[in-house]
Amino acid sequence: MQMVRGQVLLQGVTSHDQLFKVEELAFQASLRNIENGREKRKVMELMTSWERKGRREGRLEGRLEGRLETVKRQLRALLGALTSSQEQLIDSLDDGKTSRLAEALLSFSTPKDLDNWLSRQRR
């Protein structure tokens, strides 16, 4: 039964990120070939947990992207245009550092303040 589950997953899932329409159809066809009801439920539970995990990761990624854009907008309003180097460094920040930047920018008065802050984050 483990082999059947593995075969179904390999046939139906090529990426943990998302099932494309063709792959989803192939997965559904493979799932119909599993006659054992308990095995079929286990495969469906596994797919459901992967879907939930993917949605959760997508929401977290979306929040970080939104936070980054908001911080960059605030920096532009405060300091003017950002350099491409500053943009790249800001885009590479994780969620925690992005939140700290959102607080730190309140004390910035020049682009050099941002550069100094970004420099300290790389250490």
Residue 47 pLDDT > 60: yes
Tens digit of each residue's pLDDT (9 = 90 or more) over 2-42: 444 444 444 444 444 444 677 677 767 776 777 777 777 77
Q: How confident is the model at residue 57 (pLDDT cuts 50, 70, 90)?
A: confident
Give the three-class secondary structure for 1. coil
Mean pLDDT of 48-55: 76
Q: How far apart are the first and last CA of the chain?
A: 51
Average pLDDT of the chain, as a whole number: 79
To the question of pTM greater than 0.85 for the whole model, the response is no
Tens digit of each residue's pLDDT (9 = 90 or more) over 58-110: 887 888 888 899 999 999 999 999 999 999 999 999 989 999 999 999 999 99
Distance between CA atoms of residues 32 and 49, nearest Å: 20
107: CB partners within 8 A, 6+ apart: 113
40: CB partners within 8 A, 6+ apart: 31, 34
